[in-house]
């Protein structure tokens, strides 16, 4: 898979690409990351990429010509017809696990990073195939958002993660699976259960007894229950869109009962 990233800060990506899943995919040949300096597609002495907004107001707006030229320069590529041209923008649809899965099936994704107050609307309308936001908070540009997209997509490419890690992606990975589904908030996932490692007691805080018991069925049930409980408290929206099995129903009933009793005791 090829990522073509158009940015005024190509160097911003160099350290990110040297670590973790992005480095691994690069070394393994599953992904190629090509950085394109937007200023290389300007035609004036000052390599100008932005200009004042028509109609007045503060800030500067990315001019359309360099972005159009940059994308048109990379057009004849494998999967060209099917390549999404993604404008990272606060006005975009939200990045979710299913969006990442959708991109992971493409041969190439073009990522356009904006800066300043915004990008000339003709880029969104006539160059990008879609706008994408990574969440409802204000960034100063699309670069970090593009890095997030690349990370989320790359780890889904076949062969990038080892078996152990990628199994987690299967929606129902069998009895061992606790927080079935991929990233929470993604395609039907729930939040993860708590994890512990040695020491069994740290500064007086003990690891839950059941995890030391060796009773694998009890441990599985406890993990599922804690995952459901955390999801119920923090992300009830996720539970609502989850197909709950019989055991989950029972565990949730236990969780509700325990919460009620606790509330009763506090009164």
Say whether 194 is catalytic: no
Tell me the number of residues near ligand 9D3 by CB under 6 A: 16
In the complex, the smallest distance separating the C-beta of residue 115 from ligand 9D3, rounded to whole angstroms, is 7
Task: Choose which of 64, 114, 181, 189 interacts with ligand 9D3 (CB under 6 A).
Answer: 114
Say whether 82 is catalytic: no
Nearer to ligand 9D3, 52 or 250 (CB): 52
Whether the CB-CB separation of 107 and 78 falls below 8 Å is answered with yes
Nearer to ligand 9D3, 58 or 76 (CB): 58
**Residues 47-79, buried b or exposed e (16+ Cβ, 10 A)?**
eebbeeeeeeeeeebbbbbbbbebbeebeeeee
Q: Catalytic: which of 18, 72, 117, 261?
A: 117
Nearer to ligand 9D3, 30 or 133 (CB): 133
Give the start-end residues of each E strand in 114-264.
118-119, 130-133, 201-202, 205-206
Q: Catalytic: which of 72, 82, 121, 170?
A: 170
Q: How far apart are CA 123 and CA 53, in angstroms?
A: 15
HEC profile of 103-153: HHCCCEEEEEECCCCEECHHHHHHCCCEEEECCCCCCCCCHHHHHHHHHHH
In the complex, the smallest distance separating the C-beta of residue 46 from ligand 9D3, rounded to whole angstroms, is 22
Helix (H) or strand (E) holding 86: strand 85-94
Whether the CB-CB separation of 105 and 79 falls below 8 Å is answered with no
Considering only residues 191 through 210, tell me which ones interact with ligand 9D3, judged by CB under 6 A. Answer: none
Omega before residue 68 within 30° of 0, cis: no
Site string for ligand 9D3, 64-103 (x = CB under 6 A): ------------------------xxx-------------
Measure the CA dihedral 119/125/126/128, to 10°. Answer: 70
Q: Catalytic: which of 65, 90, 101, 122?
A: 90
In the complex, the smallest distance separating the C-beta of residue 248 from ligand 9D3, rounded to whole angstroms, is 33
Q: How far apart are CA 49 and CA 67, in angstroms?
A: 9
Whether the CB-CB separation of 50 and 20 falls below 8 Å is answered with no
Nearer to ligand 9D3, 110 or 190 (CB): 110
Say whether 76 is catalytic: no
Site string for ligand 9D3, 119-158 (x = CB under 6 A): --------------xxx-xxxxxx--x-------------
Site residues, ligand 9D3 (CB under 6 A): 88-90, 114, 117-118, 133-135, 137-142, 145
Positions annotated as catalytic residues are 90, 117, 155, 170
């Amino acid at each position: 898979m090829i990522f073509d990233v158009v940015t005024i800060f190509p160097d911003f990506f160099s350290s990110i690409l040297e670590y973790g899943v992005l480095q691994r995919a690069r070394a393994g040949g599953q992904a190629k990351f090509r950085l394109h300096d937007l200023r290389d597609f300007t035609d004036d002495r000052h390599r100008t990429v932005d200009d004042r907004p028509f109609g007045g107001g503060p800030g500067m707006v990315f001019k359309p010509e360099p972005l159009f030229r940059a994308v048109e320069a990379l057009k004849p590529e494998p999967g060209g017809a099917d390549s999404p041209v993604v404008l990272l923008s606060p006005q975009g649809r939200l990045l979710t696990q299913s969006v990442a899965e959708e991109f992971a099936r493409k041969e190439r994704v073009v990522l356009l990073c904006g800066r300043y107050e915004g990008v000339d609307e003709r880029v969104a309308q006539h160059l990008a195939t879609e706008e994408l936001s990574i969440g409802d908070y204000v960034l100063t540009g699309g670069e970090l958002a593009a890095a997030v997209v690349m990370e989320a997509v790359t780890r889904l490419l076949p062969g990038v993660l080892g078996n152990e890690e990628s199994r987690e992606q299967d929606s129902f990975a069998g009895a061992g699976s606790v927080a079935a589904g991929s990233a929470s908030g993604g395609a039907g996932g729930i939040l993860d259960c708590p994890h512990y490692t040695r020491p069994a007691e740290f500064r007086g805080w003990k690891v839950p007894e059941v995890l030391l018991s060796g009773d694998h069925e009890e441990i599985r049930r406890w993990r599922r229950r804690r995952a459901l409980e955390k999801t119920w408290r923090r992300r009830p929206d996720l539970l609502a869109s989850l197909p709950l099995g019989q055991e989950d129903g029972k565990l949730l009933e236990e969780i509700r009962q325990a919460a009620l009793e606790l509330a009763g005791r506090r009164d």
